Structure 1
Amino acid sequence: MAAAAKRHPTPVFLFSHGTTMMLGEESEPAEFWRSVGDEALRRGIRSIIMMGAHWECTGDKIQVAMNPNPQKTPVAYVAPRRYANFELTPDIPLANRVIGMLRKAGFDAEPNPTFNFIHDTFLILIRMFPTEKTNIPAVIVSANARFDPYYHIKVGSTLRPLRYENVLIIGSGGTVHNLYRNHWMQMVLHRDNFAQPTPPGQFALEFRQAMEDAFTMNCGPMLRRVVARLMKHPMYRDAHGTDDHFISAAFVAGAAGDQEDADAPNAFRAECWELVNMANTQFQLGLWEPAERR
């Protein structure tokens, strides 16, 4: 008798976003995320779980969005017509299950029945599904405001089993995202977020390379260790003036850093720079299931 085929987990994605490149203009990352959406629909992905960069809870808490009719918060420098009519589809049953999984793992997890989607999550859904509706329902998980990398790695590892149930896990943050070090004049005067009147600073180039090395040269449990250590990188604080845009990297490292992921390659997929010093790099952790096994 032939042995049963080994289950294959869905890949995990790290989405590095900037100001308006995903909504206001075409870019290499925008095109990449459209291809991810097409592939997810083709393979029948049933749901998406995302941790963004602009929602965190104080104390020991972590929350899961449970608003059945979420709205969208405004996006700076982007005309509302580009996103106002996009219809969000939350996955309330899966959100309840996520809360249960987190509580079982020891987290002080609770529902948030009033949370509205923020641009760090809904703008990627718009690019993935360029109609006016989230074709695959989504669950949004908050970060914790202490920004402990090991806490967020554990959140990712706790939800990792859902990858075997045709669920995509996505972290939304930034490779280099320090608003204090950006060059805003071209954006303020000309709405040109892609203008690069000077090369990126050395701090940005160094940390961007450290991120790529961490994700593309490590897998399995080693990935979790090197991502956590990035917060001690000498250029970390210059690259991230606050921790909120980095912490989703720890979340996806947890979701894609199990021993079973040790042989799954991680890859750089797309990138653009904005406002001179903001690097938006997209990573795919693991592979889609081979077509011949589906």
Structure 2
Amino acid sequence: MPLTPVHFFSHGSTMMLGEESASATYWKKCGDAALANNIKGVVMMGAHWDARGTNRIDVSMNPTPTKSPVAYVHPSKYVDYKLNPDLATGEKVLGMLKDKGVDARANESFDWIHDTYLILIRMFPSACPPATIVSMNARFDPHYHAHIGSILAPLRSEGYLLIGTGGAVHNLYRNHWAQMLLHTDNFAQPSPPDDAMLEFRQSVEDVFVKNGGGRGLRRGVVRLMKHPSFRDAHGTDDHFMAACWVAGVCGADGSREGEGEEAILGAEDWEMVNMCNSQFTVGAWRKQVASH
């Protein structure tokens, strides 16, 4: 079976669920294409769930998860959306990880957070496809998360859509909150983004688009954590781990699978002056759908 595309989506603030944007339009386009190509399910790594332990990764196995509340978004946008946890695929993911020596554990109490279900609602507004969420590891080692991605890379050839959701530039300490808090305007740009944010944002685009899939993407993404502007662009490491995971999915250990795939910047929005929500796709469907 042809490889499915892989997405690294910057989910941004909670208001990305409630406000229309170029990113939201692109997410929907990607969801339509996935459904047209009959995906088997979605496997995701987000930015708001990590497991403690040297070699530990949790997999969501809660059959009836609830949704964590979302600030600054009307409940009608998400409360009634029915989640669709894929326990069978969760068991499959656990087995794949354990076979490679990962301390993978089933988490039967995890409730889903906006970093993942925001994306699912935007991509699949009519109904949530079968979905499995994989945690980060709390040590935030980029090479380790790329390795986890490489273990799960074979799911692409089985018809699963793999999505990492974090942020290209995501530092809450550097955001300008006034326009959002006072006027609920998350897209206001009363001043240009800081130079460090612009520099790191460009470096992320260069690494994805100029490398495409394969080992070059994997090396480039993990190396971005040594970029001189990384700590300005990311006050904490959590929102960059999904990018490392995606790079591992597209540049598997000891495999040339994914080499030569094109990567594109599909859409982008700036929020609160300094948060850059870049949306990347590596690979493409053989069967495309027309955009609406």
TM-score bracket for this pair, using the shorter chain length:
over 0.9
**Which residue is 1:37 aligned to?**
31
Q: 1:275 aligns with which of 258, 264, 272?
A: 272
**Which residue is 2:155 aligned to?**
162
- The number of equivalent residue pairs is 283
Residue 139 of structure 1 pairs with residue 114 of structure 2: no
C-alpha separation in 1, matches of 2:132 and 2:165: 13
Residue 211 of structure 1 pairs with residue 171 of structure 2: no
What residue ranges of structure 1 are gaps of 5+ in the alignment?
1-6
**Which residue is 2:64 aligned to?**
69
Residue 130 of structure 1 pairs with residue 125 of structure 2: yes
**Which residue is 1:3 aligned to?**
none
C-alpha separation in 2, matches of 1:13 and 1:265: 12
Superposed displacement of residue 288, structure 1? 1.1
**Which residue is 1:121 aligned to?**
116
Superposed displacement of residue 90, structure 1? 0.6
Q: Which moved more, 1:66-75 or 1:281-290?
A: 281-290
Question: Could you tell me which amino acid in structure 1 is paired with residue 176 of structure 2?
Answer: H
1:35 and 1:128 in contact (8 A); partners too: yes
Residue 148 of structure 1 pairs with residue 141 of structure 2: yes
Superposed displacement of residue 21, structure 1? 4.1
1:66 and 1:92 in contact (8 A); partners too: yes
Runs of 4+ in 1 over 6 A off after TM superposition: none
Q: Which moved more, 1:258-267 or 1:212-221?
A: 258-267
**Which residue is 2:7 aligned to?**
13
C-alpha separation in 2, matches of 1:110 and 1:221: 28
**Which residue is 2:77 aligned to?**
82
Residue 187 of structure 1 pairs with residue 184 of structure 2: no
1:218-237 equivalent positions in 2, closer than 5 A = 218=211, 219-237=213-231
Superposed displacement of residue 40, structure 1? 1.1
After TM superposition, the score normalised by the length of structure 1 is 0.94
Residue 248 of structure 1 pairs with residue 242 of structure 2: yes
Instruction: Provide the secondary structure at the position in 2 that maps to 1:25.
Output: coil
1:228 and 1:250 in contact (8 A); partners too: yes
Instruction: Provide the secondary structure at the position in 2 that maps to 1:246.
Output: helix
Superposed displacement of residue 22, structure 1? 2.6
**Which residue is 1:100 aligned to?**
95
Instruction: Provide the secondary structure at the position in 1 that maps to 2:39.
Output: coil
1:9 and 1:289 in contact (8 A); partners too: no
C-alpha separation in 1, matches of 2:283 and 2:201: 21
C-alpha separation in 2, matches of 1:221 and 1:290: 26
Q: Which moved more, 1:15-24 or 1:78-87?
A: 15-24
Superposed displacement of residue 160, structure 1? 0.3
Superposed displacement of residue 174, structure 1? 0.3
Q: Which moved more, 1:16-25 or 1:185-194?
A: 16-25
2:11 and 2:118 in contact (8 A); partners too: no
C-alpha separation in 2, matches of 1:68 and 1:22: 27
Instruction: Provide the secondary structure at the position in 2 that maps to 1:153.
Output: helix
**Which residue is 1:57 aligned to?**
51
2:37 and 2:287 in contact (8 A); partners too: no
Instruction: Provide the secondary structure at the position in 2 that maps to 1:245.
Output: helix
Question: Could you tell me which amino acid in structure 2 is paired with residue 123 of structure 1?
Answer: L
C-alpha separation in 2, matches of 1:192 and 1:10: 36
C-alpha RMSD of matched pairs (Å):
1.0
C-alpha separation in 2, matches of 1:179 and 1:290: 39
2:15 and 2:72 in contact (8 A); partners too: no
1:20 and 1:193 in contact (8 A); partners too: no
After TM superposition, the score normalised by the length of structure 2 is 0.95
Q: Which moved more, 1:153-162 or 1:33-42?
A: 33-42
